[in-house]
Structure 1
Amino acid sequence: MARTLELDVGPVAHGGVFVARHEGRVVFTSDALPGERVRARVIDDRHDRYWRAETVEVLEASDDRVDHVWSAASLERDPAERAGGAEFGHIRLARQRELKADVLREAFERFAGLEADPVVEAVPLGEDAPPGASDAGSAWRTRVRLQVAPDGTLGPFAARSHDVVPVADLPLAAPAVAAAAPLGQRFPGAAHVDVVAPGEGGARVLVAERDRRGKPRKPPRGEIVEVVDGRAFTLEQGGFWQVHVNAARTLSRAVQDAIDGSAFDPRAANLDLYGGVGLLAAAVGDRFGETVRITTVEADERATDHAAANLADWVGAAAVTARVDRFVQGLVADASRAERQALAEATVVLDPPRSGAGRAVIAALGELRPRQLVYVACDPVALARDVGYLREAGYGLEELRAFDLFPNTHHVEAVARLGSIVA
């Protein structure tokens, strides 16, 4: 039988859990809040330095605790049956943002050696949002992935597991997604079901079947159109796009604002790394004009094809299919003297996956020495680690903003500008 502990809960930690201690050992505890006293069930005691636990009862509640936004993820359910994906849903929204800022601050101190004081900004949903949705942090997801159990049952994974939990509603989903989600239906043999509600056209349900080895197949091909500030972007229906209904516009404007115009050269070899279908390259072009020279680099060939079409308004835009690490290392190895100069005068925008750009990419950028970098990140620790690498390479952090693009979860999006401090 699993061990149960009474714990006094301390600060937030990366990953949506909170730090408590038991007999000198750290216990990372979910579904809690700083200052609370809880009864928690230990779910992992394999490590000498720390354990993991899940709250089963609140003995002394924080004033910031509220009724969970999603009953399927609340304390009323056994931890093994709580839906994942809303791990901060029991916390007042303003307090959620403070906790996310705490995680960013601690990550920068620990991994970048910097003192940062970010404020996590709320992001509005728009005029079409249901009444009260912004205050509740609900109705923002334009994309939802539902997993399929061996018997065909559909639902999210339980928190911190791969067990499928049937649910009756999806409160974080945008109305079109919630209405189209085939909850209660069975999909025997499928791997997962994606529900996508693009900016134009109705919601789509994309079923990923399993191949003979049990691996998920790619969903059926098809195009969708997303619209950002009046500009249309075509992409694959199963391709990457920001999840929050207002995320693409928010990040486009944040990147535009982050670029230091006095350091920007439209004729330089400007880069948009991990560029997807060209969203942020277009943001640069919209700010600085149609003659901007910018190359967007993306490993997904289909996304690169769409980027080329989406960036057709800019005569100096190009789209390259390549892994970013190989692309920038190739520039280090092969760039001519003139190309090196154009890169040294460049602005580089990068929006890597959750794992971050990593040491190899940062080292290559350090060799190329672009004038400024604008880094878009969805993981605070990966961002802080890479900022630390960039500091070693001679760059200084000049600006940091953060956005609450994932309300009721622990995730946060950040945009950082770094400039070269080495002549």
Structure 2
Amino acid sequence: GAQRRLKGEVVAEQLERLAGLTPEEAGWDGTVMPAEGDKLPAGQVPSWRTRVQYAVDADGRAGLRRHRSHEIEPIDHCMIAAEGVSELGIERRDWPGMATVEAIAATGSQDRQVILTPRPGARLPIVELDRPVSVMRVGEKDGGVHRVHGRPFVRERADDRIYRVGSGGFWQVHPKAADALVTAVMQGLLPRKGDMALDLYCGVGLFAGALADRVGDQGAVLGIESGKRAVEDARHNLAGFDRVRIEQGKVESVLPRTGIDEVDLIVLDPPRAGAGRKTVQHLSTLGARRIAYVACDPAALARDLGYFRDGGYRVRMLRVFDLFPMTHHVECVAILEPADKGR
């Protein structure tokens, strides 16, 4: 409870300082919602991280870096690792020649994956773990993620749909996060049959899939994503929808080229730096009935909310989630509507 109260204070301060909004003006009651199952008795820690990157010391022992340090502390168990990660037994093996070992345990399937980053010139070890895994490696020259054996992706589930997530691709780390965010976004947007919707910074298509389900055959969804592999995954994940299109490139470059000048709904889930003034100005001209902004940095969110206000939008509702327990991170979903609506 104390962690969530502190996070709530941080969000409130950023809203006030950067957007000039009180919690009441943002339609927020000040609550930071824990993920389902994370309310535990005092002294207990939720095991939530479905992806853990272990650092490897000079002796080949897996551990974690000390806070704001390069020093590696060998460990025998990561307290916040999800059960699927812990049962791989990464900490019980030696990893000679490796710089890092990342363990991934999908929540939508039994898929388990290990991504190895070798030190320069090192050979890959034989990977023998306590559960079957696919193995990937980070290339020394190109920094890309390459298949060693097994599937080059994991299968995740959200909103009753399976999503393929390629190695190195983004998916929410908390097992309940994707569903919590989809629910908040769809409850805020209230999509209707026949709506035209945008999903910006769409990743592997999480929100585009949820929107496509709800706008139906008469509606349409355009997703824009800069990552090549994420675009491939999104196109695969949403291949069953005729009226969904995924474009690759930066939002600020691709969106003006589409010629779209009017939409009903917009979802944006930008990287930590936010969408920025230019993109927000463009979005504000498209006449969207509602906009859902998903943010992992309350400061960037607050700045962009100020730009949306300048573009004629107001915050209808804000929901704040604690999807990163035992860290300083917080996730927000802001729902915006035209400022002149209902006035």
Q: TM-score, normalised by structure 1?
A: 0.68
Structure 1 range deviating more: 115-124 or 176-185: 176-185
Instruction: Give, as a single letter, the amino acid of the residue that structure 2 aligns with 1:357.
Output: A
Name the CA shift for 1:134/1:294 in 2 (closer, same or farther; >3 Å).
Answer: farther
**CA contact under 8 A between 1:291 and 1:315: conserved in structure 2?**
no
Aligned to 1:383: 301
Q: Report the Cα offset of residue 260 of structure 1.
A: 3.9
Q: Report the Cα offset of residue 184 of structure 1.
A: 5.0
- Aligned partner (choices 96, 100, 103) of residue 7 of structure 2: 100
Larger Rg: 1
Aligned to 2:134: none
**CA contact under 8 A between 1:118 and 1:400: conserved in structure 2?**
no
**CA contact under 8 A between 1:291 and 1:314: conserved in structure 2?**
no
**Are residue 143 (structure 1) and residue 24 (structure 2) matched?**
no
Aligned to 2:224: 297
- Aligned partner (choices 136, 143, 146) of residue 217 of structure 1: 143
**CA contact under 8 A between 2:193 and 2:218: conserved in structure 1?**
no
**Are residue 114 (structure 1) and residue 44 (structure 2) matched?**
no
Q: Report the Cα offset of residue 253 of structure 1.
A: 1.0
Aligned to 1:166: 74
Distance 2:173 2:306 in 1: 28
Distance 1:141 1:133 in 2: 19
Instruction: Give, as a single letter, the amino acid of the residue that structure 2 aligns with 1:364.
Output: H
Name the CA shift for 1:285/1:241 in 2 (closer, same or farther; >3 Å).
Answer: same
Aligned to 1:318: 245
Name the CA shift for 1:143/1:298 in 2 (closer, same or farther; >3 Å).
Answer: same
> Where does the alignment leave 5 or more consecutive residues of structure 2 unmatched?
24-28, 122-138
Distance 1:250 1:392 in 2: 30
- Aligned partner (choices 36, 39, 62) of residue 124 of structure 1: 36
Aligned to 1:155: 63
Aligned to 2:136: none
* Cα offsets for 1:308-347 (capped at 9, x unmatched): 121123221111111112123435xxx2xxx42xx2x321
Name the CA shift for 1:111/1:265 in 2 (closer, same or farther; >3 Å).
Answer: farther
**Are residue 196 (structure 1) and residue 99 (structure 2) matched?**
no
- What are the within-5 Å matches in structure 2 for residues 336-347 of structure 1? 339-340=260-261, 343=262, 345-347=263-265
Q: Report the Cα offset of residue 188 of structure 1.
A: 4.2
* Cα offsets for 1:241-300 (capped at 9, x unmatched): 100011111111111111044xx57343x2100101111111112333344300111111
Distance 1:358 1:136 in 2: 39
- Aligned partner (choices 104, 112, 115) of residue 206 of structure 1: 115
Aligned to 2:181: 251
Instruction: Give, as a single letter, the amino acid of the residue that structure 1 aligns with 2:102.
Output: D
* Cα offsets for 1:348-379 (capped at 9, x unmatched): 10111122112232122234443321001111
Identity %: 38
Higher relative CO (Cα under 8 Å, sequence separation at least 6) belongs to 2
**CA contact under 8 A between 1:275 and 1:297: conserved in structure 2?**
yes
Distance 1:256 1:249 in 2: 11
- Aligned partner (choices 407, 411, 421) of residue 329 of structure 2: 411
Name the CA shift for 1:243/1:173 in 2 (closer, same or farther; >3 Å).
Answer: same
Distance 1:181 1:360 in 2: 47
**CA contact under 8 A between 1:180 and 1:204: conserved in structure 2?**
no
**CA contact under 8 A between 2:19 and 2:302: conserved in structure 1?**
yes
Distance 1:407 1:202 in 2: 24
**CA contact under 8 A between 1:292 and 1:315: conserved in structure 2?**
no
Name the CA shift for 1:290/1:101 in 2 (closer, same or farther; >3 Å).
Answer: farther
Instruction: Give, as a single letter, the amino acid of the residue that structure 1 aligns with 2:17.
Output: R
**CA contact under 8 A between 1:152 and 1:188: conserved in structure 2?**
yes
Q: CA RMSD in A?
A: 2.6
Name the CA shift for 1:352/1:312 in 2 (closer, same or farther; >3 Å).
Answer: same
Match of 1:136, SS? coil
Aligned to 1:240: 170
Distance 1:315 1:181 in 2: 43
Structure 1 range deviating more: 362-371 or 385-394: 362-371
Aligned to 1:43: none
Instruction: Give, as a single letter, the amino acid of the residue that structure 1 aligns with 2:227.
Output: D
* Cα offsets for 1:153-183 (capped at 9, x unmatched): 4322211223222222111111110121421
Match of 2:86, SS? helix
Match of 2:65, SS? coil
**Are residue 352 (structure 1) and residue 270 (structure 2) matched?**
yes
Distance 2:41 2:268 in 1: 31
Aligned to 2:126: none
**CA contact under 8 A between 1:152 and 1:189: conserved in structure 2?**
yes
Q: TM-score, normalised by structure 2?
A: 0.83
> Where does the alignment leave 5 or more consecutive residues of structure 1 unmatched?
1-93
**CA contact under 8 A between 1:208 and 1:217: conserved in structure 2?**
no
Aligned to 1:25: none
Structure 1 range deviating more: 271-280 or 181-190: 181-190
Instruction: Give, as a single letter, the amino acid of the residue that structure 1 aligns with 2:66.
Output: A
Distance 1:118 1:292 in 2: 35
